[in-house]
């Protein structure tokens, strides 16, 4: 979300384009730019992915470690997401300049995965009440070109899909319990990502709304809505941000649009991830 | 075209177009030649009886003159350049304009024509009304009047009615090295759109406009034309093709078989850039 200064004339052009449903690059308000996705690109991780939407490029790495279970949830594993906007993405992100946007992205990702159904956390439990897997998820932005939230959520789902978890054998009981983590790269299990949500962010521009906005369009927007959509088309989360009012009817339209877009992206994403899996095993 | 796909492997269409014979790509420190008969120009230096490159780019040899043209440089202005810039500050008796060079350029109040094509001595009232002419964020097109010796800061002027504030349109930033130096920078294209190729790499695409006359509300066809031109320019710039009016028109015609939004896809961009470049080579020969 780097700040771009626009002239009144440029803003008028962008707002009127959005209202005509023909944006400055020819897309309609619901069209996404082509999404490039690649998984298993970081060798030191359990799972990783790279997602590129237009100019925005984000890397996600998933690393698993065995930790003590949280006493409030003794039968579940844990997720620890952290977001980093690299200074190479924008000079504004040097030093502490990126803190605000990182917090915002982090809160949206945490919102999406706060539900126990998103990623079955019970699968991550090793010994009930004792040990579980902690997934350390790092999201790194290399380039920013608008639509940071959606890119992160898509990359996150892809990274979790590609994650391979080692098997753990438990021996002994009580204090003498020992966990042996298998080194065998073929004796692994995969996480179930069918319920992982994708965030579709819709920005209100003038009298209408648009998805996958560029930085210039973001500058002309008044408020935006994050909608977490599952592959089944259900809405799992919603958050309205930014300064600007929204009509309740407009909000309902935005949610319906987000569901349409989200279902389509899930379908295409799952197809690509499956194709990558089959080429990897060949 | 699929919405989600694996990463596209971009192939090289060409390096920068050069009028000279052989071109080698060099990095700083590479030895170009050991023949000291050559005269050293920009981007070269003498290092222990060798002529070495000091920047990363392509080597140009014209007769006995050797130079290295870097590709990723910041724009360095020259007197007479026409450029598109964005006003960043309004100061006393001058505006500061960002044009992609190392320092913001200066536009003096005395160097502009007032609305109505008036050139008169500016009064105190004019000074107080500077924001009425250009405010922060406005896009302007101006000419370089002077380049400072000390720090390379550009001084701009608008001593003609074709320069001034730009109306509704789109600004695209491309590397400044891709803008071919030519006599004309304002191109009123036959497809009812205007393209201004600023020497600094800032390209403005918009409808036809005359100075001091409000433009009519844009129709869907003009929006389509502008969007298509923008995508075509971005495609050419992504593959390092030098930009000038004929190649943009060629690329526009080649792109007509695709929908405007399809021009955002990597394969289509490569196809358009490749065909336009080949077409322009044939035209030159």
**Which pair of tokens denotes residue B196?**
């201004």
Residue A214 is predicted with a pLDDT of 92
Is some CB atom of chain B closer than 8 A to the CB atom of A268? yes
A-proximal residues of B, 261-280, CB under 8 Å: 261, 263-266
**What is the separation of C-alpha B282 from the centre of its chain, rounded to a whole number of angstroms?**
24
Residue A2 is predicted with a pLDDT of 58
Q: How confident is the model at residue B20 (pLDDT cuts 50, 70, 90)?
A: very low
CB–CB contacts below 8 A, A to B = 103
- The C-alpha of B90 sits at a distance from chain A's nearest C-alpha, in angstroms, of 14
Contact call for A5 and B137, based on CB within 8 A: yes
Residue A217: closest C-alpha in chain B: B170
Pair B144, B78: CB distance under 8 Å: yes
* ipTM of the complex, rounded to two decimals: 0.88
Task: Report d(CA B280, CA B259) in Å as an integer.
Answer: 23
Helix, coil or strand: residue A66: strand
Span A29-42, pLDDT tens digits = 999 999 999 999 99
Is some CB atom of chain B closer than 8 A to the CB atom of A19? no
Beta strand pairing call for B57-62 and B31-33: unpaired
Residue B216 is predicted with a pLDDT of 83
Residue A117 is predicted with a pLDDT of 83
Task: Identify the residue among B3, B4, B173, B215 best suited for mutation to test binding to A, counting A beta carbons within 10 A and taking the highest.
Answer: B4
Q: Is B235 buried (19+), middle (13-18) or exposed (0-12) by CB count in 10 A?
A: buried
Over 90: is that where the pLDDT of B236 sits?
yes
Contact call for B137 and A264, based on CB within 8 A: no
- Mean pLDDT of all residues in chain A? 91
Dihedral (C-alpha) B172, B175, B177, B183: value to the nearest 10 degrees? 10
Contact call for A7 and B228, based on CB within 8 A: no
Residue B23 is predicted with a pLDDT of 58
Is some CB atom of chain A closer than 8 A to the CB atom of B104? no
Over 90: is that where the pLDDT of A82 sits?
yes
Is some CB atom of chain B closer than 8 A to the CB atom of A272? yes
Is some CB atom of chain A closer than 8 A to the CB atom of B4? yes
Across residues A54-75, what is the average pLDDT? 93
Query: Count of CB atoms within 10 A of residue B47's CB?
Result: 12
Helix, coil or strand: residue A51: strand
Contact call for B261 and A28, based on CB within 8 A: yes
Angle at CA B103, nearest 5°, toward B99 and B104? 50
Across residues B42-71, what is the average pLDDT? 86
Over 70: is that where the pLDDT of A245 sits?
yes
With pLDDT > 90 as the criterion, what percentage of chain A qualifies? 73
Highest mean pLDDT of the ranges A2-16, A193-207, B5-19: A193-207
Task: Report d(CA A94, CA B123) in Å as an integer.
Answer: 43
Q: Which residues of A193-230 are buried (b: 16+ CB within 10 A; e: fewer)?
A: bebbbbbbbbbbbbebbbbbbbbbbbbbbebbbbbbbb
Contact call for A22 and B231, based on CB within 8 A: no
With pLDDT > 90 as the criterion, what percentage of chain B qualifies? 48
Contact call for A34 and B6, based on CB within 8 A: no
Q: How confident is the model at residue A1 (pLDDT cuts 50, 70, 90)?
A: low
Residue A38: closest C-alpha in chain B: B6
Over 50: is that where the pLDDT of A5 sits?
yes
Q: Where are the alpha helices (DSSP H) in A93-247?
A: 99-112, 148-162, 215-219
Residue B42 is predicted with a pLDDT of 84
Task: Report d(CA A62, CA A134) in Å as an integer.
Answer: 10
Over 80: is that where the pLDDT of B285 sits?
no
Between A176 and A121, where is the model more confident?
A121
Beta bridge partners of B90: B95
Across residues B279-285, what is the average pLDDT? 79
Contact call for B6 and A6, based on CB within 8 A: no
Choice among A234-243, B83-92, B117-126, B229-238 with the minimum mean pLDDT? B117-126
Contacts of A231-237 spanning 24+ positions with Cβ under 8 A: A231/A194, A231/A195, A231/A263, A231/A266, A231/A267, A231/A270, A233/A259, A233/A262, A233/A263, A235/A259, A236/A112, A236/A115, A236/A117, A236/A118, A236/A197, A237/A111, A237/A112, A237/A114, A237/A115, A237/A197, A237/A199
Kindly report the pTM of this predicted structure. 0.88
Residue A142 is predicted with a pLDDT of 94
Pair B57, B18: CB distance under 8 Å: no
- Within 8 A of B170 by CB-CB distance, chain A residues are 10, 13, 24
Across residues A67-91, what is the average pLDDT? 91
Span A197-208, pLDDT tens digits = 999 999 999 999
With pLDDT > 70 as the criterion, what percentage of chain A qualifies? 98
- The C-alpha of A11 sits at a distance from chain B's nearest C-alpha, in angstroms, of 8
**Cα–Cα nearest to B226, from A276, A212, A199, A23:** A23
Choice among A222-226, B112-116, B134-138, B181-185 with the minimum mean pLDDT? B112-116
- The C-alpha of A218 sits at a distance from chain B's nearest C-alpha, in angstroms, of 15
**Cα–Cα nearest to A57, from A175, A121, A150, A142:** A142
Choice among A195-209, B64-78, B197-211 with the minimum mean pLDDT? B64-78
- Within 8 A of B99 by CB-CB distance, chain A residues are none
Is some CB atom of chain A closer than 8 A to the CB atom of B238? no
Contacts of B111-119 spanning 24+ positions with Cβ under 8 A: B111/B145, B111/B155, B111/B156, B111/B157, B111/B158, B111/B159, B112/B157, B112/B158, B112/B159, B112/B164, B113/B158, B113/B159, B113/B160, B113/B161, B113/B163, B113/B164, B115/B212, B116/B212, B117/B161, B117/B211, B117/B212, B119/B159
Pair A192, A160: CB distance under 8 Å: no
Q: Which of A7, A20, A54 shows the shortest C-beta gap to B137?
A: A7
Across residues B118-144, what is the average pLDDT? 85
Residue B12 is predicted with a pLDDT of 64
Contact call for B3 and A13, based on CB within 8 A: no
Q: How confident is the model at residue B21 (pLDDT cuts 50, 70, 90)?
A: very low
Q: How confident is the model at residue B206 (pLDDT cuts 50, 70, 90)?
A: very high
The phi and psi torsions of A277 (rounded to 5 degrees) equal -65, -45
Contact call for A38 and B170, based on CB within 8 A: no
Residue B58 is predicted with a pLDDT of 83
Task: Report d(CA B29, CA B66) in Å as an integer.
Answer: 15
Beta bridge partners of B189: B193
Dihedral (C-alpha) B53, B58, B62, B67: value to the nearest 10 degrees? -30
Between B57 and B11, where is the model more confident?
B57
Residue B115 is predicted with a pLDDT of 67
- Mean pLDDT of all residues in chain B? 87
Helix, coil or strand: residue A108: helix
């Amino acid at each position: 979300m780097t700040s771009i200064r626009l002239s009144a004339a440029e803003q008028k052009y962008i707002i009127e384009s959005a209202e005509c449903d023909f944006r400055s690059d020819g897309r309609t308000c619901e069209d996404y730019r082509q999404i490039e996705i690649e998984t298993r690109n970081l060798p030191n991780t359990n799972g990783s992915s790279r997602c590129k939407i237009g100019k925005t490029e984000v890397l996600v790495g998933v690393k698993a470690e065995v930790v003590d279970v949280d006493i409030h949830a003794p039968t579940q594993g844990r997720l620890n997401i952290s977001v980093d906007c690299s200074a190479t993405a924008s000079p504004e992100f040097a030093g502490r300049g990126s803190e605000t946007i990182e917090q915002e992205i982090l809160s949206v990702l945490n919102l999406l995965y706060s539900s126990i159904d998103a990623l079955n956390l019970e699968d991550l439990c090793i010994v009930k009440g004792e040990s579980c897997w902690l997934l350390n998820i790092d999201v790194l932005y290399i380039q920013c070109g608008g639509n940071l939230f959606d890119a992160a959520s898509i990359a996150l789902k892809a990274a979790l899909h590609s994650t391979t978890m080692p098997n753990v054998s438990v021996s002994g009981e009580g204090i003498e319990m020992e966990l042996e983590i298998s080194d065998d790269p073929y004796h692994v299990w995969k996480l179930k990502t069918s319920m992982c949500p994708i965030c579709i962010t819709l920005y209100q521009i003038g009298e209408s709304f648009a998805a996958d906005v560029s930085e210039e369009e973001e500058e002309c927007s008044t408020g935006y809505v994050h909608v977490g959509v599952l592959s089944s088309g259900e809405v799992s989360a919603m958050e309205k941000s930014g300064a600007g009012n929204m009509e309740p009817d407009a909000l309902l339209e935005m949610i319906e649009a987000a569901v349409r877009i989200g279902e389509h992206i899930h379908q295409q994403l799952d197809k690509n991830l499956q194709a990558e899996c089959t080429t990897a095993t060949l | 075209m699929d919405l989600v796909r694996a990463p596209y492997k971009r192939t090289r269409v060409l390096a920068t177009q050069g009028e000279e014979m052989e071109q080698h790509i060099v990095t700083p420190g590479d030895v170009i030649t050991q023949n000291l008969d050559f005269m050293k120009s920009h981007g070269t230096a003498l290092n222990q009886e060798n002529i070495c490159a000091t920047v990363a780019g392509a080597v140009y040899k014209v007769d006995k003159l050797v130079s290295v043209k870097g590709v990723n440089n910041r724009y360095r202005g020259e007197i007479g350049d026409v450029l598109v810039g964005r006003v960043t500050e309004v100061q006393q008796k001058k505006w500061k304009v960002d044009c992609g060079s190392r320092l913001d350029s200066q536009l003096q109040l005395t160097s502009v024509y007032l609305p109505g094509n008036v050139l008169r001595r500016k009064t105190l009232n004019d000074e107080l009304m500077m924001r009425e002419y250009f405010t922060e964020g406005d896009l302007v097109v101006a000419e370089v009047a002077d380049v400072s010796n000390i720090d390379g800061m550009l001084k701009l002027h608008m001593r003609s009615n074709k320069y001034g504030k730009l109306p509704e349109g789109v600004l695209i930033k491309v590397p400044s090295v891709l803008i071919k130096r030519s006599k004309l920078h304002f191109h009123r294209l036959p497809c009812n759109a205007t393209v201004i190729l600023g020497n600094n790499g800032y390209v403005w695409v918009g409808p036809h406009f005359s100075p001091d006359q409000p433009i009519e509300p844009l129709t869907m066809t003009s929006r389509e034309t502008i969007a298509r031109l923008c995508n075509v320019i971005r495609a050419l710039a992504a593959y390092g093709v030098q930009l000038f009016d004929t190649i943009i028109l060629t690329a526009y015609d080649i792109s007509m078989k695709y929908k405007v939004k399809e021009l955002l896809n990597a394969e289509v961009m490569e196809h358009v850039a490749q065909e336009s470049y080949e077409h322009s080579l044939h035209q030159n020969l």
